[in-house]
Structure 1
Amino acid sequence: MKTHLVREIMTKDVVSVRTYTPFRLVASAMLGHDVGAVPVVDALGHPVGMVSRTDLLAKRAHLGHGPLGSVWERITARGRRTEAAAQGATAARLMSHRAVTVTPEDTVFRAAYLMRRHDVSHLPVVDKRGIVVGIVSRGDLIGEFMREDKPIREDVLTEVLAGRIEDPDEVEVTVESGVVTLEGRVRMASDALYLVEASRRIAGVVDVVDLLRWTTDDRRPQVSPLF
């Protein structure tokens, strides 16, 4: 089954800055190219950090927090980062000091996982040399869910059912607003489990409704402990 890769959704025309790039030029690069973040790279093009629009806003946020905000800036990691970024005049002072990266051959699932785990909105895409060749944003991943229902259904039929089910006509596949419904009878319980999980991996699928039945339950029995 085809798995969608980062190279299929990434932006290849990457706007990057160097550590010494002044604040105003960083802001100009973001606004001029309508991007939410830019990688900070070294002389060879390796990412050393990221600067987002939120980092640029630290200068204004720092001035508007009041007395309680001063405490927040001192006792929390995000607060201390806001205070540091507020004093920054170059990309080196504004950036996060750890760029979470992916490669063009990573799956979109891997990219989504890293964004959620590290709470970031953009991932630089690096090649085998570690050089930035693209960037992936949350919008790129969310855009996948805008696929039409018809091609989603076709992918389920050709990439999931074909080759797994002896008679694909035994399973009815409907798709509405990205929600796939599988209904019918298959021979093995393991087949039903596969169809559901594989359908979830199709680009654009929001959810899968499982209405499948099976003739033989070939799942391994769950043995309860004696004590």
Structure 2
Amino acid sequence: MRHRSVADLMTPFVVSVQRGTPFKEIARLLKEFDISAVPVVDEAERPVGVVSEADLLRKPTSDSGTNTAAGLMTSPAITAQPHWSVVRAVRVMRKHQVKRLPVVDAAGRLIGILSRSDLLQLFLRRDHAIQEEILEDVLTRTLGLRPSALTVEVTDGLVTLSGTVSRHSLVPIVLRLCQSVDGVVDVVNRLDYEQDDMSVDTRTAH
């Protein structure tokens, strides 16, 4: 069961600028390529910041330094690596309250960009495809469970699990694996279990 990574979703073609790129050139690039921000890179193509539409809309001052990328950018650049899981990328975006992540290679060079619109691709999967992956990959192949013992319903990415598993300890495992499936928005747990193997037996505890 393979889940998509940052490398799978990122846009490999990136419009970037240098520290000295002037205000008007940045504005032209945003309009020409229909994008809302550009990474600012150094001489080695390593991101040092990002200039967004919001940055450009700030009123320029008489200081000429604010009319170049170096003076306009938000710095440092919050970056991602191509092998990251999508979940990790989303967490970083939320933590730093950014809408996009420049993606860098092992040497820190810019190789792509991941935006929130790229991430939305995950949630455009059909419910049937999500249900099929949970039944075949998660329950049958990964966990070795009988699909007939469980019911998987998917509505607009919301997964509802019902039925009975053999042990209580399997429930959090099933939930975690289902939540990691591409396109799943949330999981509703209605699972029951035959054996409670998560309760501590005080008679044998020391």
Same-fold call, TM > 0.5? yes
Which amino acid in structure 2 is aligned with residue 198 of structure 1? L
Q: What SS is found at the alignment partner of 2:54?
A: helix
Match of 2:2 in 1: 2
Match of 1:39 in 2: 39
Match of 2:26 in 1: 26
Distance 2:146 2:85 in 1: 30
CA offsets 1:86-132 (integer angstroms, 9 cap, x no match): 97210000001200111110011111111110111110000111100
Structure 2 length normalisation: TM-score?
0.91
Q: What SS is found at the alignment partner of 1:100?
A: coil
Q: 1:115 aligns with which of 93, 112, 118?
A: 93
RMSD, matched Cα: 2.2
Q: How does 1:200-215 map to 2 (within 5 A)?
A: 200-215=179-194
Aligned residue-pair number: 201
Distance 1:155 1:56 in 2: 44
Distance 2:171 2:51 in 1: 45
Which amino acid in structure 1 is aligned with residue 67 of structure 2? A
Q: What SS is found at the alignment partner of 2:3?
A: coil
Structure 1 length normalisation: TM-score?
0.83
CA offsets 1:37-65 (integer angstroms, 9 cap, x no match): 11100111001111111111112xx8xxx
Which amino acid in structure 2 is aligned with residue 207 of structure 1? D
Q: How does 1:48-87 map to 2 (within 5 A)?
A: 48-59=48-59
Match of 2:75 in 1: 97
CA offsets 1:117-168 (integer angstroms, 9 cap, x no match): 0111110000111100000111112332121111111111123112314322
Q: How does 1:123-162 map to 2 (within 5 A)?
A: 123-162=101-140
Q: What SS is found at the alignment partner of 1:21?
A: coil
Shift in Å at residue 194 of structure 1?
A: 1.1
Note the residue ranges of structure 1 that are not aligned, 5 or more in a row.
63-82
More helix by share: 1
Deviating above 4 A after TM superposition, structure 1's stretches of 4 or more consecutive aligned residues are 83-87
Identity %: 41
